[in-house]
């Protein structure tokens, strides 16, 4: 199998880049942590990689809004590079803060005449929320990262994770195309009915969304924080799994280039 190269893009305030690099390497890829300044200096650097991932954290301290400054850098200086990366059939992943960046930069969902079609805003209760959540994959999604996965149990840690679309028309369009890839659910797999199963009040319990091609995914939960079965919060009570639920996401990305 060819070993894809992964660009883990970090910025001041990013704090999950080492874990994300490790996750891709555990899945069989070759990953490099690259500072945003290096990419701004040499945008052609992206062409050396098959997967680009923006990890979680608090890029630029989440000043202005979560992910907004890094998103503006990408929008104003790397837009052509990012869209070429997509056009070349490569994969892009945004985790938590990375999801916020992909949404607000226009990389995940293309802007139209009315601006950004969706955003991630403050949790309904107005606080930072750190807990484990149950997730269900939309069986109609074209998302490469989620193929073969039905349900997951992953941690979330964010203050601005509430996904909302601009209007009902945008919601219907994204829903019909299967782009709402991941939903918060109850432990039995039924639809979440508010907090805490839906930790932020996201519209239609949306925890992750992809582009129309299925090659760009953003999600609020942290798959890189549950790779080893010992990371499960109740492994001593429930026994060990074969592996953490999050590893499959990274393995799907690596195996896409097999």
Which positions are annotated as active-site residues?
Answer: 96, 222, 224
Q: In whole angstroms, give the CA distance from residue 239 to residue 228.
A: 13
53 and 215 Cβ atoms separated by less than 8 Å:
no
Q: In whole angstroms, give the CA distance from residue 69 to residue 101.
A: 8
Question: Which tokens in the block code for residue 127?
Answer: 């606080």
Q: In whole angstroms, give the CA distance from residue 182 to residue 176.
A: 14
Q: In whole angstroms, give the CA distance from residue 141 to residue 209.
A: 9
CB neighbourhood size of 97 (10 A): 31
Q: In whole angstroms, give the CA distance from residue 137 to residue 149.
A: 7
Question: Which tokens in the block code for residue 134?
Answer: 């149950």
| Strand 5-10, strand 51-54: pairing | parallel
207 and 184 Cβ atoms separated by less than 8 Å:
yes
Helix (H) or strand (E) holding 99: helix 97-104
Q: Per residue, what are the HEC states of 2-42?
A: CCCEEEEEECCCECCHHHHHHHHHHCCCEEEEEEHHHHHHC
């Amino acid at each position: 199998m060819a070993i894809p190269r992964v660009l883990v893009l970090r910025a001041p305030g990013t704090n999950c880049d080492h874990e994300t690099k490790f996750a891709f390497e555990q899945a069989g890829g070759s990953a490099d942590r690259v500072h945003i300044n290096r990419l701004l200096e040499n945008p052609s650097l992206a062409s050396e990689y098959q997967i680009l991932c923006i990890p979680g954290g608090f890029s630029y301290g989440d000043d202005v809004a979560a992910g907004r400054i890094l998103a503006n850098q990408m929008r104003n200086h790397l837009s052509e590079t990012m869209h070429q990366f997509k056009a070349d059939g490569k994969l892009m992943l945004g985790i938590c803060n990375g999801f916020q960046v992909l949404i607000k930069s226009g990389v995940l969902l293309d802007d139209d005449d009315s601006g950004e079609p969706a955003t991630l805003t403050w949790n309904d209760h107005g606080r930072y929320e750190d807990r484990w959540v149950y997730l269900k994959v939309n069986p109609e999604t074209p998302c490469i990262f989620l193929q073969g996965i039905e349900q997951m149990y992953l941690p979330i840690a964010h203050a601005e994770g509430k996904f909302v679309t601009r209007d009902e028309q945008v919601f219907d369009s994204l829903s019909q195309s299967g782009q709402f890839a991941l939903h918060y659910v109850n432990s039995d797999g039924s639809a979440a009915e508010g907090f805490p199963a839906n930790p932020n009040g996201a519209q239609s319990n949306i925890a992750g969304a992809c582009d129309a091609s299925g090659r760009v995914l953003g999600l609020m939960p942290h798959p890189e924080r549950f790779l080893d079965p010992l990371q499960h919060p109740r492994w001593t009570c429930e026994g060990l799994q074969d592996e953490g639920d999050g590893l499959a996401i990274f393995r799907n990305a690596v195996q896409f280039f097999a």
